[in-house]
């Protein structure tokens, strides 16, 4: 699993910008919401290609049940 990172920048006017890396799908929005929920209202969200990627599910063991 790739490293997940949130970079938060606060400019001289107090505007907060946050950028995620290593997240796929809505997980990035969920993490940002929990991190920034007490700081104010989110005005704009720019979604990257990673937002639209599906989370991969890996099956490590498959069991088949049959009738005897």
Give yes or no for a contact between 31 and 40, defined as CB atoms under 8 angstroms apart. no
pLDDT digits (tens, 9 = 90+) for 12-42: 988 888 888 888 778 878 888 888 777 777 7
In a domain, 43, yes or no: yes
In a domain, 17, yes or no: yes
Question: 18-51: string of b/e by CB count within 10 Å (b at 16+)?
Answer: bebeebbeeebeeebeeeeeeeeeeeeeeeeeeb
In a domain, 57, yes or no: no
Give yes or no for a contact between 4 and 21, defined as CB atoms under 8 angstroms apart. yes
In a domain, 27, yes or no: yes
Domain hosting 11: range is 5-52
Q: What percent of the chain has pLDDT over 70?
A: 75
Total tally of structural domains belonging to the chain = 1
In a domain, 58, yes or no: no
């Amino acid at each position: 699993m790739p490293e997940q990172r949130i970079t938060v920048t606060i400019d001289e006017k107090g505007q907060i910008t946050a950028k995620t890396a290593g997240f796929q799908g809505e997980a990035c929005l969920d993490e940002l919401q929990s991190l920034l929920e007490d700081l104010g209202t989110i005005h704009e969200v720019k979604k990257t290609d990673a937002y639209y990627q599906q989370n991969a599910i890996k099956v490590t063991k498959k069991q088949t049940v049959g009738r005897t």
